Structure 1
Amino acid sequence: MTVRISAPSGPFRDAGIEALREGLTRRGLLGCGAGAAGAVLLGAAGDARSQDAVQPHALAEFFQGHQVAGAALSPSGERVAVLLNIGEGGARRMAVDLIEAADPSGPRRRVPVGDFDVETLAWANEQRVMMRLVIPVTAGGNTPTGRGIANRTYELQSRRVVSMDLETGETALMFGDERVRMRESLNLGHIVDYLPDDPDHVLMAAREFSGLMALHRVNVNTGRADLVERGSQLTLDWSTINGVPVMRRDISTRGSVINIFVRPDGEGRWRRAWRQPTAQVALADFIWIGAAERAGHALVAARIEDEDVLAVRELNLDTLEYGPPMASRAGLDVSASLVDARGRYMAAAFYAPRLEYDFVDSDLGAHHRAMNGFFGNECNVVLANADAAHNRFIIRASGPRDAGSWYLYDKAARHFEYLGARTLLDTRRLAPAEAVQVATRDGASIEAYVTAPPGGAPGPVIALVHGGPESRDVLGWDRQAQVLAAQGWWVVQPQFRGSGGYGLAFASQGWKRWGDRMQEDVEDALAQIIRDRGLDAARVGIMGTSYGGYAALMGAVRRPDLYKAAISICGLGDLGDALAYERRDDESADGFVYDYWTSRIGDPRTDGDAIAAASPRLRAAEIACPVLLVHGVDDPIVQVHQSRGMNDALQAAGKPVEYVEVPGAGHADWEDDVEKDLMERYVALFSRAFA
């Protein structure tokens, strides 16, 4: 299969197009995200020597903000909207470019949006787009204190949804005629259903003054909202089939459990179909997809009974019975699904280790493989939008050397049109990454992702451990890994036993093994990479967030001879204390959340000694390297007292420790300016340790 491409201008443009004439499937022609740097041409093997003289990006350049924030395809597939920042000198000034899909290289209509952070962009109909704006708001004022009155102000984030007519530039604010709600509510809802059969309306979930979450039918031309139904104060959102709400997601009173309710016809009693701990929502065992072909049924991805992997299947909304797997892979969980502009199921997505689809229409598989070849098989090629005819697609490509770039793909014309890149980072100055298989000390095999610094010179190495622990990394864009690699350091991301995404059997091999097997897998990955790549075994660091923060601390306890610095971000220090907190906080009548965590960490009644031995706070005296602790004060997943207690224990033991609290932040959810300052601290600590 061959395609035409309209590439961005740049010094490699002509060479890139000439090479593409030889066919998409030839490997190594273009680096992932080549458009962001002007179609950068690489050697067939990605020769690292060509990068020896290239200067890596400075840390601050990784935090310059978005250039293109997104792209969307209209329901008919005839028009494309591209959201971009046209501000200069670091200023933010958002605009939407309108492109006719039949002539993507032709003139664009540019419609200004303004100085707003825009979270989402989607089409409401063929003329209007919907955008969710984030607007800073100053709150506070005169506050009584022990010494009188003090004026204290602070900044909050307000969210509003607007529609914009791309022909006239005219806008409408959703709920805009409700002045009290506009004044009192920080978050005025999110879109649940774009209603393809009703182009003048969308369904939105928004809270009422009572605190109840309610579903509204909102006119996109005027912003007027009409109530459809009310949920409860615990309701988060709904999902629909043909505009009818048939699934509702609620959070428990204390926020520890997500409950999923369904009903077959949009009326009658809601019944619980699934529940899971909130802390594990990032790797759900239940994913809503949409309508099934049979009435009264929905498509979901679920792991049921004793099955190993998450698979696509039908759910009978009346009987709550599940059908057999329709899409599944041995040893890999479904990670997402693809639906078209009308919500029809097209494919299941898997990471193996890059994104792959199992399509309903097998012909689309050949096109997706060709797309991967176009990006040198270095990207995760996401089909972000598909028209109803399955002919035009918005492609979002991202990879180790691409923070995100957008393309329009026309299947009939076999044509790629470059739409823009998220950042101005030069792919030639970024670090390549690859997946390797690691042999563990007990004869098993795990996957690890290795990021080499630009140029690939041997040097120090850092283990970057993911959270969860039943989550996983993918071979894609990772800003932390890129910043560390830009310093000349290698980065290893082990997918240790206990990780999610590889099936329940793989995850369960880490249950109650937090202090030994899961740590050993990290150590074995480091040892193999250090040996095979000739890296500096005397300069090794470890860092991570959430479970990864725990792993950094426990690694420093276990291997004071190995790690020269450890960084824990929102990490656990005391497993026994964490279990006691979950027991106190578990509002489920059957102890569902507490039982979940005792099955993963251990039961204090029978595993007390092992839990204590796997708690870094209780073994702080064994840590030899400097430690940096970071925690959000309002973290609802790992409470801030975990890092406070770890800090106290390290100080009491006379160990070098630095502790940073982020006020107003939750579970590592701070803004980019905070992350930039923290990354500077991380780099400074490792630099001192590796000196």
Structure 2
Amino acid sequence: MARLKLLISSLILLISLDVVAKNQEPYPLEYWALRDVISNVEISPDGKHVALLKIPTKDGDPVIEVYPADDLDAEPYRINSNPMEIQSFFWLSNDVIGMNLRQKVRDRIEGFNEGVYEYLLGSVDIKRKKLKKYDQLGADLEHLLPNNERRIIFSYLPGGEDNRLNKAFRPRTYYELDIKSGAKKLILRGKLDMGQIEFDIDGNPWLARGFDIGKGEYVWYERVTNTKKWQEFYRLSEESFENFSVDGFDDQQPHIFYVRANNGHDKIGLWEYNLKKQDFGELIYRRSDVDVAGVRFHSNEWTNLDSVVGVVYSKQSIEVEYFDELEMATNQQLKQVIPESNYLRVNSRSRDGASLTIYNVGPRDPGTYYLLHKGKLKKLGSRQPLLEAEKLADVRYIEYKARDGKKIPAYLTIPNGKPPFPAIVMPHGGPFVSEVVIYDEWAQMLANNGYVVLQPQYRGSRGLGLKHYQSAFIDGGQGGYKMQDDKDDGMMYLVEQGWAEEGRLAMFGWSYGGYAALVAAARKDQIYQCVIAGAAVSDNQMQVNYYRDRMRGAQKVEQLGMWDDSISPIEAAADVNVPILLVHGSVDQRVPPAHAERYRKALDKFGKEYKYVELDGADHFSNTLFYDHQKTLYESMISYLNQDCGAGGL
């Protein structure tokens, strides 16, 4: 524990900042720019060691530190995979740690979804202090094989990104890997009609998915009722917008699968599916307000890998309805003793169940790890140790009505102080994703600087049922139209409720959120003083043309229905009527920099006011934003909001 405290002290010195007095606001932006100081904390299977991923300096690479569970003040064993960067790790046995590694191998992207990094699996024996890197590029761990300490199962996607089938159903190739010798043995090569395999605790295949290209149907197979032969048990048309996914099976009756499905309903529920009858059975859990988001598995993956103990849904926060009384009681007891407990989970456990690591995150906790060992609970550290609970902001779940009467759920991050506040609407990317706001660094950073932040679950957002999702495109693309109204109406709701001050409103978004910000800049009934657009789609047709020929069925209706019929910001550049801050990564593979280049030329043509910030070496995704990127982003944003957002700043 002393060494973890020393890390915090040295980190403050490294970024050359004075300790902030408790009543001083806001935090220096350098605090927010730090990547996670500690993450990925796990106990070894025998409960003797605790490992964690640490970034020891503001611009350093992650290292793994391994401590004796009995002595957290001991000198740790450190693992550095230079020149590759450790992304995450996992215990493979009592003495061997597996690692997901990446390395930047190019300075420029090679096209859409072809980034500058390559990925490998590696391992390290903490007894022998021996590091191995396995040579299969793009390998993903599939199975730990808890009952076999020498072997794991990994897979990879052959054929790169040019395959025209949805990645979730593309055939993978599976190998068994000997982690001691590095030898690998082919298990099977997936085929288009059956290419996604799941394995049980002993490594036996039990579930497969594929695609019948002739009939345009996704197909599911099982090897539970007959372990020697695959049996087809379900088909779903590629034209369907309904969900069907197998999350597990009944421990006592393996022929009963647990599936998340609409099954003719608006909201996704958790159902039994009887393989012997090849039909849905009992409805286990469904809500009228939100979809079932997933299941909770047993906290001990070494002995109960496939045991489903609860169902997960997201509304005010991430909630779990437990089926297992002991798992529920464990969670409830931990919530009583852990400060600022919100979304709390046991994220690793020893094989005997006696030692465990716990992770908690909430509006006033950026993410903290704890160790319960030999009956004592100890705090291991925080993702962001410089941020104090009392200086962070509360998050409130609200609902409001759009102008056409549609109910829009949203999250409100509220600064410490008295309203009304200047306000920023921050639409999520996607747009067809599910978002639950527990602790959001961007929202917290803005709230810390005095802005109330609205994160609306506008039409098109997932997790709220089929109708809410399909309303973005089923009757014509609503990008720039009703989807934009949802954001504006949320801001006016804040004004009406006294949270925000009219005339002090702005929008900030990334990816689709950046697109929404560009559309907002050209709205005729303008309510914003400025917008900040990060990694923004500026040309609908250029974006969708990257993958137009790969789309089929419902995905084609979704994507073309959205982008083809929605407002294209580059075509509306002449109508821009507020200042714009554009931010883009120089190696963005998902929304290539050509979007920013072309849009700036259009703004120049019409003499519009804007500033441009390029993040050198940054891709589209948050795990490619390093300290310097985030510092530049945050300084640019706060400076722009204070000085350039309308007359006199926001």
Same fold per TM (> 0.5)? yes
Q: 1:231 aligns with which of 167, 182, 190?
A: 190
Indicate how the Cα distance of structure 1 residues 388 and 426 shifts in structure 2: closer, same or farther if over 3 A, else same. Answer: same
Mapped pair 1:200 → 2:150: yes
Partner of 1:45: none
Query: 1:475 & 1:263 partners in 2: Cα distance?
Result: 36
Give the superposition deviation at 1:219: 1.9
1:594-648 per-residue CA deviation (whole Å, 9 max, x = no partner) reads 223355x38x7xxxxxx36x44333333321122344557766556655555444
Mapped pair 1:329 → 2:329: no
Q: 1:427 aligns with which of 388, 393, 405?
A: 388
What one-letter code is carried by the residue in structure 1 that aligns with 2:382?
Answer: A
Matches within 5 A, 1:90-101: 91-92=60-61, 94-100=63-69
Gaps of 5+ in 2: 10-19, 109-114, 162-170
8 Å Cα contact 1:68-1:82 kept in structure 2: no
8 Å Cα contact 2:522-2:578 kept in structure 1: no
What one-letter code is carried by the residue in structure 1 that aligns with 2:430?
Answer: G
Partner of 2:12: none
1:403-441 per-residue CA deviation (whole Å, 9 max, x = no partner) reads 32112347x95x533222222222247431322424324
Partner of 2:28: 58
Secondary structure (helix, strand or coil) at the match of 2:645 reads helix
Give the superposition deviation at 1:331: 1.6
Partner of 1:308: 266
What one-letter code is carried by the residue in structure 1 that aligns with 2:632?
Answer: D
Secondary structure (helix, strand or coil) at the match of 2:26 reads coil
Matches within 5 A, 1:171-190: 171-173=130-132, 175=134, 182=135, 186-187=137-138, 189-190=139-140
Matches within 5 A, 1:291-690: 291-293=249-251, 297=255, 299=257, 301-315=259-273, 321-340=279-298, 341=301, 342-343=304-305, 344-375=307-338, 379-386=342-349, 393-409=356-372, 413=375, 416-428=377-389, 430-440=391-401, 441-455=403-417, 458-511=420-473, 512=476, 513-533=478-498, 535-558=500-523, 561-573=526-538, 575=540, 584-586=548-550, 588=552, 591-598=553-560, 601=562, 611=565, 614-631=567-584, 638=591, 643-659=596-612, 667-668=620-621, 670-672=624-626, 673-687=628-642, 688-689=644-645
Query: 1:268 & 1:353 partners in 2: Cα distance?
Result: 44
1:162-219 per-residue CA deviation (whole Å, 9 max, x = no partner) reads 33334x25225253xxxxxx4xx654x2211111121221111246899995322112
Query: 1:538 & 1:210 partners in 2: Cα distance?
Result: 49
Query: 1:662 & 1:285 partners in 2: Cα distance?
Result: 38
Mapped pair 1:244 → 2:204: yes
Further displaced range: 351-360 or 233-242 = 233-242
What one-letter code is carried by the residue in structure 2 that aligns with 1:132?
Answer: N
Give the superposition deviation at 1:89: 7.1
Query: 1:221 & 1:436 partners in 2: Cα distance?
Result: 50
Query: 1:299 & 1:635 partners in 2: Cα distance?
Result: 40
1:121-161 per-residue CA deviation (whole Å, 9 max, x = no partner) reads 22212332222233455789xxxxxxxxxxxxxx9544443
Query: 1:226 & 1:532 partners in 2: Cα distance?
Result: 63
Query: 1:430 & 1:8 partners in 2: Cα distance?
Result: 25
Secondary structure (helix, strand or coil) at the match of 2:522 reads helix
Indicate how the Cα distance of structure 1 residues 523 and 267 shifts in structure 2: closer, same or farther if over 3 A, else same. Answer: farther
Give the superposition deviation at 1:454: 4.6
Query: 2:499 & 2:147 partners in 1: Cα distance?
Result: 61
8 Å Cα contact 1:396-1:407 kept in structure 2: yes
Indicate how the Cα distance of structure 1 residues 251 and 449 shifts in structure 2: closer, same or farther if over 3 A, else same. Answer: farther
Partner of 2:43: 73
Further displaced range: 660-669 or 374-383 = 660-669
1:537-586 per-residue CA deviation (whole Å, 9 max, x = no partner) reads 2221102123322222222333553111112333344556766776x424
8 Å Cα contact 2:293-2:313 kept in structure 1: yes
8 Å Cα contact 2:434-2:461 kept in structure 1: yes
Give the superposition deviation at 1:465: 0.6
Query: 1:668 & 1:135 partners in 2: Cα distance?
Result: 15
Partner of 2:223: 264
Query: 2:153 & 2:160 partners in 1: Cα distance?
Result: 20
8 Å Cα contact 1:473-1:493 kept in structure 2: no
8 Å Cα contact 1:296-1:317 kept in structure 2: no
Query: 2:592 & 2:228 partners in 1: Cα distance?
Result: 39
Give the superposition deviation at 1:62: 1.9
Give the superposition deviation at 1:120: 1.9
What one-letter code is carried by the residue in structure 1 that aligns with 2:38?
Answer: V
Query: 1:297 & 1:375 partners in 2: Cα distance?
Result: 39
Query: 1:392 & 1:463 partners in 2: Cα distance?
Result: 43
Q: 1:165 aligns with which of 125, 138, 149?
A: 125
Q: How many residues align?
A: 600
1:61-95 per-residue CA deviation (whole Å, 9 max, x = no partner) reads 2232332222123346x345221437467544724
1:257-276 per-residue CA deviation (whole Å, 9 max, x = no partner) reads 99775442676669685688
Indicate how the Cα distance of structure 1 residues 268 and 654 shifts in structure 2: closer, same or farther if over 3 A, else same. Answer: farther
Indicate how the Cα distance of structure 1 residues 390 and 287 shifts in structure 2: closer, same or farther if over 3 A, else same. Answer: farther
8 Å Cα contact 1:438-1:524 kept in structure 2: no
Give the superposition deviation at 1:530: 3.2
Gaps of 5+ in 1: 1-5, 11-34, 38-49, 141-154, 176-181, 605-610
Partner of 1:217: 176
Further displaced range: 369-378 or 546-555 = 369-378
Query: 1:498 & 1:317 partners in 2: Cα distance?
Result: 34
Give the superposition deviation at 1:234: 12
Query: 1:36 & 1:330 partners in 2: Cα distance?
Result: 45
8 Å Cα contact 1:437-1:445 kept in structure 2: no
Indicate how the Cα distance of structure 1 residues 492 and 207 shifts in structure 2: closer, same or farther if over 3 A, else same. Answer: closer
Indicate how the Cα distance of structure 1 residues 113 and 523 shifts in structure 2: closer, same or farther if over 3 A, else same. Answer: same
1:41-60 per-residue CA deviation (whole Å, 9 max, x = no partner) reads xxxxxxxxx99822322222
1:299-333 per-residue CA deviation (whole Å, 9 max, x = no partner) reads 45422332222233345679864444323333222
Secondary structure (helix, strand or coil) at the match of 2:288 reads coil
Query: 1:649 & 1:409 partners in 2: Cα distance?
Result: 58
Query: 2:335 & 2:285 partners in 1: Cα distance?
Result: 21
8 Å Cα contact 2:512-2:536 kept in structure 1: yes
8 Å Cα contact 2:508-2:533 kept in structure 1: yes
Mapped pair 1:112 → 2:78: yes
Query: 1:473 & 1:206 partners in 2: Cα distance?
Result: 28
Indicate how the Cα distance of structure 1 residues 80 and 453 shifts in structure 2: closer, same or farther if over 3 A, else same. Answer: farther
What one-letter code is carried by the residue in structure 1 that aligns with 2:121?
Answer: V
Indicate how the Cα distance of structure 1 residues 329 and 425 shifts in structure 2: closer, same or farther if over 3 A, else same. Answer: farther
Mapped pair 1:126 → 2:79: no
What one-letter code is carried by the residue in structure 2 that aligns with 1:164?
Answer: V
Secondary structure (helix, strand or coil) at the match of 1:326 reads strand
Secondary structure (helix, strand or coil) at the match of 2:488 reads helix
Further displaced range: 420-429 or 666-675 = 666-675
Give the superposition deviation at 1:457: 6.6
C-alpha RMSD over aligned residues: 4.3
